[in-house]
Amino acid sequence: MNMKSSLAALALLVAAGALHAQEAAIRKNLAERLPTLGKIEEVAKGPIQGLWEVRVGSDIYYTDDQGNYLVQGAIFDTRAKRNLTEEREQKLLAVDFAALPLKDAFTIVRGNGARKMAIFEDPNCSYCKRFERDLQKIDNVTVYMFLYPILGGDSPEKSRNHWCTADKGRAWQDWMVRDKPAPLAMGACDTGAITRNLEFGRKHKIQGTPTTFFADGTRMPGAMPLAQVEKLLAQAGTAAKPQ
C-alpha cells in the first residue's frame, strides 16, 4: 500500500471513529435526559446536514450531534415535494408480502388475478367503502382481504358474521360496494383469524383502515387514487421480476 492509500485509509478510520463517538454521545445524553423515550434502536445521519435521525421502534425523531435537542415531526423536501419522514417510516413498517398470514384472509379475484395486494379493512370504515368502490375498476388482481375491526361499535360482530359466511368475498362486496345488508350470524365458526389479524396489526402498527400492502413490501395507509394503486401494482410487479 502506497503512502496516498495509507493516508486515505487512515482518514476513513478517523472519520468512522468520530461518527461512532457522536452516535454514542447522542445515545448517552438522550437516555440519561429522557428515560421515558424508550429503547433507541438506531442513530444515523439524518436527511439534512447537521441533523441526526433517532429511531425508537418505528418512531422517528431528530436531534443535533450531541443530543441536546429532540425534534418530533415531519421533514418535507420542498423541491421534490416529498415527505422524507413519512417515506422513512413506511420503509421501516414495510412487511414482506410472503410473511403475511394469508390463511387469515379471504380473496377477491378480478381478471387473471396475476397482481397481488393485501388490504386490512374494518366493515364500518367509510374510507374503506370508498376505496372498495374504486378498486372495482382494477383488473387482473388478487386482493387478500383481512378483516380488521378496530373502529368499535358492531365492527367485531360484522367481521365475525362476514368471516362465517360461505361466500366471504361476495358478502363483503355486497356490504361494502352494493349497499346490501351485512350478513347475519350463521352459527358458530372458528373466528380465530380475526383475533390473529388484530394481533398482527398491533405488532406491525396498523393503526387505521384501509391499510394496503403490495407484493414488493410497500405499505400504504388510507384510501388511494386509482392511478396510485395502478402505479404501485406495476412497481411491485417489476420488483418481483428477476433482473
Q: Give me the domains of the chain, ranges plus CATH numbers.
A: 33-93 (3.10.450.70), 97-240 (3.40.30.10)
Per-residue pLDDT of the chain (243 residues; tens, 9 = 90+): 565 565 455 455 544 556 778 899 999 999 999 999 999 999 999 999 989 999 998 789 999 999 999 999 999 999 999 999 988 887 888 889 999 999 999 999 999 999 999 999 999 999 999 999 999 999 999 999 999 999 999 999 999 999 999 999 999 999 999 989 988 877 779 999 999 999 999 989 899 999 999 999 899 989 999 999 999 999 998 765 543
What is the reported pLDDT for 222? 92
Distance, in Å, from the CA atom of 62 to the CA atom of 17, rounded to the nearest integer, reads: 21
* Closest to 70 in 3D by CA, of 41, 39, 31: 31
pTM value is 0.73
What is the reported pLDDT for 3? 58
Distance, in Å, from the CA atom of 112 to the CA atom of 134, rounded to the nearest integer, reads: 19
Q: CA distances (Å), 44 to each of 15, 53, 231, in order? A: 14, 5, 31
What is the reported pLDDT for 240? 52
